[in-house]
Structure 1
Amino acid sequence: MGDGEHWTEIDGLQALWRSTHDTSREIEVMTVHDTRENPVPDVTFPPGTDLADARERQPEWELLWDKIRREFWHEYNPAARRTRAIDRRRH
């Protein structure tokens, strides 16, 4: 895995993505691997495919796209990390 690349997995789908540091296209989706019982072939997206484009191409993977977005914001939003840390200390 290269610098800044992340794996996100949900329901047998594994996506490789990275932050682009480009405010107009924040998340670049690179590939999705399916480990389910009847997998679909792996999908490799063209370079520069952002999360919105990937969502349009594979709308049935909505849960995966939503989880990537959450993980992105958790990783790149310090306020979200602090809020979660505070919430954990309260319990």
Structure 2
Amino acid sequence: MWRTEVDGLRVTWRLVQHHLIAIIAVDNASDASPVASFCPSNYPDLALARELLPELTRLWDAVRHEFWTKLIPPMSLAARQRVLA
């Protein structure tokens, strides 16, 4: 389970089979009051969450960035230098 925070909002999400992102809930980071929550049998993926809550674009972008950073970590400086050599 992962949490990403942007603009005072925190989204809880997890990876499911085939590297899909399942959005579990969105809360206010300051007091944990719910903004949106979803049923476990029907967690939206990131694309559907964007459609359902388009005003949270910056939050969805941050989730996507964190997902890719975890799936494919950035190369170290030494590795980049070897690739460029």
**What's the TM-score once normalised by structure 1's chain length?**
0.71
Give 5+ residue unaligned stretches, structure 2: 79-85
* Partner of residue 60 from structure 2, selected from 25, 44, 65: 65
CA deviations 1:56-89 (Å, max 9, x no partner) are 00000000000000000000114xx21xx329xx
- Aligned equivalent of 1:6: 2
Q: Which amino acid aligns with 2:59?
A: L
- Aligned equivalent of 2:35: 42
Q: Which amino acid aligns with 1:29?
A: I
Q: Give distance in 2, aligned partners of 1:69 and 1:34.
A: 19
Identical aligned residues as a percent: 38
Greater fraction helix: 2
Query: Which has the higher Rg, Structure 1 or Structure 2?
Result: 2
Cα RMSD for the two superposed structures: 2.6
Q: In the TM superposition, what is the alpha-carbon distance from 1:41 to its structure 2 partner? A: 4.3
Q: Give distance in 1, aligned partners of 2:25 and 2:34.
A: 11
Detail structure 1 runs of 4+ shifted over 3 Å in the superposition.
none
* Partner of residue 22 from structure 1, selected from 1, 15, 18: 18
Q: Give distance in 1, aligned partners of 2:38 and 2:6.
A: 19
